[in-house]
Amino acid sequence: MSLTRRDFTRRSAITGAGVALAGSVGALATAPGALAAQETTDGGSDEADVLRGAPGYGPLVPDPDGLLALPAGFSYRVLTHSGKTKLESGEFTPSNHDGTAAFEGPRGTTLLVNNHELGGPRSKWPHPVPLTEGLVYDPAAAGGCTVVEVRRDGHVAEWVGIAGTATNCAGGSTPWGTWLTCEETEDRAGQNGMTKDHGYVFEVDPHDWRANRAPKPIKALGRYAHEAVVVDPKRGHLYLTEDASGPNGLLYRWSPPHGFKHGRGKLRTLSDDAGVLKAPKCYDSGGRFVDDLSRATKIGTVYGVDWVEVPDRDARTVPVREQFDDGDITRARKLEGMWWGDGGVYIVASFARDESPVRHDGQVWFYHPSRRTLTLKVLLGVNEDPAEDGAFDGPDNITVSPYGGLVIAEDGDGVQHLFGATEHGRTYPIARNELNGGTPEKPSYSEFTGVTFSPDGKTLYANIQSPGIMFAITGPWRRRRP
């Protein structure tokens, strides 16, 4: 059933404000220069005590090895390093680590599926994903995924999960224990050396390499510059982000066909036009159409959402995001990571500049499926001095922490961090990239990617994208009082 503009306006009037539609907003994050939510508590409450205490784990301690600065008491281990560690087949670990998910493996192991964001022809990259027999989609493409196994005794093994895909950026884990890897490209056969069309989602099973043979794109999910995907475990919907501009990209929702049941390998059995792919059309609490998510300038802003069907999901002649008139759908710049948690979807819009109505340096939205509302949880103001340590900008990959709040990978300008965001609207650093890829005079630091916790919650995994390093971070994690 569609949530019409009239319905949303009426509900907003009944509840007194749009914010009440989503219950307690609980703004998750602010940062230096951010537009902060107002916290109101009784002076003697436990909540006030928590708010007075500094969030996080204290200041970051410089790393003598020049890789990761962490709080005191925390440590890291390098699991894979492109050009240094090797796959079981003997080739070097591919470069450009990106989206990652962790799965419980056999006999106490942890299995990590790691995207490698390598676009264009293979000759462009010194360490592409090896073309492992039977696991190749397009032999001209450099990207793909590797599976990293971490055993109880500390031994690390790595092998190819899928090869011959392009610009594997983020993706998402499924409730049935597989990984959906997303191609952030729209290259067709004949472009950039490709021999097949790209811009699809593929399923990778970390537990069974045989299930990954003869890779097949899930065309029902559309062909565009995919970023991330999450699965609604209750309704079976898939939500997908598009990182694109000119015009700005879209959020999508795919609804499965009637009678379809999810499970390992089931998505690849779908016909190319199975289910329905739609994009959002948002309204504010006054019933006015919202053309771009950057319009929201206050944490706690709530928009009602209708869904509009995509005319040609395979973009045979026109890119999907260009198939709508400006008044048909709601856009956003740099739609990035997503994560399912708290009964809905956390969705990142990394930044907005001149291509958007309003500038910002990061948003995190929460979509509530049953209420069909988008609530702004995080809003980072424009960081005027990215080289200065302490401010955060450009959120990208994201995960919900088992210790409360969010953990976010930074892909901004200047200094790069992993940072946390509490339920009370405060941020704190977890790690800082100290690997300078530039010069002392003009330092350059690669983004963080692939932030995810181990199944037992004791280890935080994250990557430095370039050259491609996967870390396991451990320490005195603790749950803050709610």
DSSP string of 121-159, one letter each residue: BGGG-SSPPP--TT-BS-TTB-EEEEEEEE-TTS-EEEE
Cα–Cα distance measured from residue 308 to residue 287, given in angstroms and rounded to the nearest whole number: 17
Cα–Cα distance measured from residue 185 to residue 118, given in angstroms and rounded to the nearest whole number: 10
* pLDDT score of 304: 98
Residue 23 pLDDT > 50: no
Residue 432 pLDDT > 80: yes
Least confident of 40-44, 89-93, 139-143, 440-444: 40-44
Q: What average pLDDT score do residues 286-310 get?
A: 97
* pLDDT score of 44: 35
Q: What average pLDDT score do residues 37-42 get?
A: 30
Residue 40 pLDDT > 50: no
* pLDDT score of 427: 83
Least confident of 9-13, 318-322, 468-472: 9-13
* pLDDT score of 476: 96
The 3 state secondary structure assigned to 56-75 is CCCCEECCCCCCEEEECCCE
DSSP H/E element including 78: strand 75-81
As a whole-number percent, the residues of the chain with pLDDT over 90 amount to 82
Token pair listed for 269: 């059995």
- Reported as a single tens digit per residue, the pLDDT across 219-276 is 999 999 999 999 999 999 999 999 999 999 999 999 999 999 999 999 999 999 999 9
pTM recorded for the entire structure: 0.91
* pLDDT score of 152: 93
* pLDDT score of 255: 98
Token pair listed for 436: 């300078």
Residue 390 pLDDT > 80: no
Confidence of residue 14 (pLDDT cuts 50, 70, 90): very low
On average, the pLDDT of the chain sits at 89
Burial class (CB in 10 A: 0-12, 13-18, 19+), 307: buried
Cα–Cα distance measured from residue 9 to residue 1, given in angstroms and rounded to the nearest whole number: 16
Residue 354 pLDDT > 50: yes
Residue 18 pLDDT > 90: no
* pLDDT score of 269: 97
Confidence of residue 425 (pLDDT cuts 50, 70, 90): low
Q: What strands, in cross-sheet order, belong to the sheet with 201-204?
A: 168-173, 179-183, 201-204
- Reported as a single tens digit per residue, the pLDDT across 56-68 is 999 999 999 999 9
Confidence of residue 15 (pLDDT cuts 50, 70, 90): very low
Residue 28 pLDDT > 50: no
Closest CA relative to residue 375, chosen from 301, 294, 445: 301
Other C-beta atoms lying within 10 Å of the C-beta of residue 3: 17
* pLDDT score of 480: 63
Specify whether the CB–CB gap between 374 and 8 falls below 8 A: no
